């Protein structure tokens, strides 16, 4: 349904396509920032040293991507990345609730990361030919990094799903808890049709369909039951967030706000 137009730089995109692109970039950036922030809370505290090191890399990759999306936003006339990241009120963030929930235990963190990685992989694949050139170029650059994310999170789900009775139970509980929030990642915004129509990115329903299929397959292969008839937790894409995001922001902005206009 793409119009076939390519927008090779920030200056080339106008009107509703520009608004749609900005909406998409805020969602991508905010998701990455929040899940990266949550994952970084494990640094130094993971179940074993080797896992600690790998999980810190996930956090860095995600926050690094948030920075890249925020830079794209800045090029489109939005504030600079740190202002975007550190000064907004909760309602201005566009992250899905999945990304901002507390880190909870290792079961929840790895299940969340797996759900998020599948969505990201699918989304990136569908954006590799984005009509917005800076986005398609970026997406191609992180493809390899994302491949490793998938191996890493699939490994955790299957190992813990098939581990002991205890681990299977904890993983199943984590799946039940995270699943509605994961579906919330695919909440379509008012710009959904424009994004898909202009070839900037996929429509959310397409990402969701392929996500549901892949997740069901891997959960089953990992000895975990796939939740059915789940009511998605929507709201994040239009600024309605769980309380956890408020706490997260308070922590995140604490030092920055001591001197909001000074470099740190």
Partner 1 sequence: MSDTQWQIFEVFHQQVRGEPHVYVGSVHAPDPEAALILAKEQYGRRQASVSLWVVPEDAITATSYEDVDMFDHGTDKSYRESFGYETTKRIKSIVADRTESRGEA
Partner 2 sequence: MVRVSPTRGGQPGLRGDKPGDPGYEENLAAFESRVSRGDKVEPGDWMPDAYRQQLIRLIHVHANSEICGALPEGGWIPNAPSLKRKLALIAKVQDEVGHAQLLYRAAETLGKSREEMIEELISGKAKYSNVFHYHAETWADVATISWLIDAGAIVNQTMMAEGSYGPYARALKRICYEEAFHLTHGYDMCITLATGTKLQHDMLQDAVNRWWKPIMMFHGPGDKVSRHTDLLMRWRVKMKTNDEQRQQFLKQYMPKIYQLGLTVPDEWEMRFDEVEGVWRYREPDWDEFLHVVRGNGPASALRLRTRKMAHEDGAWVRRALQSAAGQSAVGESVAGAG
Query: CA 53, CA 46: separation in Å to the nearest integer?
Result: 9
Question: Going by C-beta distance under 8 Å and a sequence separation of 6 or more, which residues neighbour residue 184?
Answer: 96, 97, 98, 232, 233, 234, 235, 236
Of 21, 23, 35, 37, the one binding partner 2 by CB under 8 A: 37
Quick one: which segment of 2-10, 47-55, 133-141, 229-237 binds partner 2 (CB under 8 A)? 47-55
* H helices, E strands: number in the chain: 10, 0
Give the binding range for partner 1 (CB under 8 A) out of 17-25, 53-61, 102-110, 197-205: 53-61
One residue of 70, 114, 138, 191 binding partner 2 per CB under 8 A:
70
The answer to whether the CB of 233 falls within 8 A of the CB of 183 is: yes
Length, in residues, of the chain: 264
**And the tokens for 149?**
């994310």
Among 4, 14, 15, 264, binds partner 2 (CB under 8 A): 264
- Nearest-approach distance from CB 141 to partner 2, in angstroms: 17
Q: Is the dihedral of CA 81, 85, 91, 94 positive or negative?
A: positive
Q: Least Å distance between CB 64 and partner 2? A: 6
Q: Which is nearer to partner 1, 57 or 146 (CB)?
A: 57
Q: Which of 49, 77, 89, 231 binds partner 2 (CB under 8 A)?
A: 49
Measured from the CB of residue 110, what is the shortest distance to partner 1 in angstroms? 13
Could you say which of partner 1, partner 2, none residue 67 binds, taking C-beta under 5 to 8 angstroms by partner kind? partner 2
- Residue ranges with strand state E in the chain: none
50 contacts partner 1 (rule: CB under 8 A):
yes
Q: How far apart are CA 202 and CA 40, in angstroms?
A: 29
Contact map string, positions 101 to 120, toward partner 2, x by CB under 8 A: ----xx-----------x--
Judged by CB under 8 A, which of 45, 53, 209, 216 binds partner 1? 53
Backbone torsion region of residue 6, taken as left when φ is above 0, otherwise alpha when ψ lies between -120 and 50, otherwise beta: beta
């Amino acid at each position: 349904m793409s119009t076939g137009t390519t927008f090779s730089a920030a200056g080339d995109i106008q009107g509703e396509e520009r608004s749609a692109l900005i909406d998409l970039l805020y969602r991508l950036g905010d998701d990455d920032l929040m899940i990266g922030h949550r994952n970084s809370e494990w640094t130094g505290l993971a179940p074993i040293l080797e896992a600690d090191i790998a999980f810190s890399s996930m956090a860095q990759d995600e926050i690094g991507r948030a920075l890249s999306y925020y830079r794209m936003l800045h090029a489109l006339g939005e504030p600079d990345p740190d202002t975007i990241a550190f000064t907004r009120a909760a309602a201005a963030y566009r992250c899905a609730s999945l990304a901002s929930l507390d880190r909870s235990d290792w079961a929840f963190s790895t299940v969340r990361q797996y759900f998020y990685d599948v969505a990201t992989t699918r989304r990136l694949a569908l954006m590799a030919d984005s009509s917005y050139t800076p986005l398609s170029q970026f997406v191609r650059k992180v493809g390899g990094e994302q491949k490793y994310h998938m191996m890493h999170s699939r490994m955790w789900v299957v190992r813990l799903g098939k581990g002991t009775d205890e681990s299977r139970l904890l993983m199943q509980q984590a799946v039940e808890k995270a699943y509605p929030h994961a579906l919330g990642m695919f909440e379509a915004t008012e710009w959904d049709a424009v994004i898909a129509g202009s070839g900037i990115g996929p429509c959310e329903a397409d990402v969701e369909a392929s996500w549901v299929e892949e997740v069901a397959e891997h959960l089953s292969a990992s000895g975990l039951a796939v939740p059915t008839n789940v009511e998605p937790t929507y709201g994040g894409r239009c600024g309605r967030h769980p309380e956890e995001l408020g706490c997260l922001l308070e922590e995140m902005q604490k030092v920055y706000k001591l001197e909001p206009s000074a470099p740190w």
